[in-house]
Amino acid sequence: MISDQYLRAPIPGALRTEYDFTYRERVTAKAIVEGADVKRGDDHLDVNKAAAVKVKGVTAEEDQRTLEAYAARLEPVLRR
């Protein structure tokens, strides 16, 4: 079993990673173009009323590079 750092259950033999996926919320065109996106938890049905928060947008290419780097770090551990 592979888990992230937030798994609370003590599972014997589980491989715990420290990968940060929180950046993935910024993989949006709005974040990339405007440097801001709708604040999490706000009314996404009416984005004109929802508060915006400044963020650095993340492109799909940046996301892919990050995920590939995570996978490369994980591969040697899985070969044990």
Report pLDDT digits (tens) over 37-67. Answer: 766 655 556 666 667 777 777 888 888 999 9
Looking at residues 8-26, what average pLDDT do you find? 83
Which tops the pLDDT comparison, 32 or 80?
32
Cα angle value 40/24/68 (rounded, 5°): 170
According to DSSP H, which parts of 1-80 are helical?
29-34, 60-78
pLDDT at 14: 84
Mean residue pLDDT across the chain: 79
Q: Distance between CA 66 and CA 54 in Å, rounded? A: 21
pLDDT over 60 at 13, yes or no = yes
Polymer length of the chain: 80
Q: Where are the domains of the chain?
A: 24-80
The pTM score is: 0.62
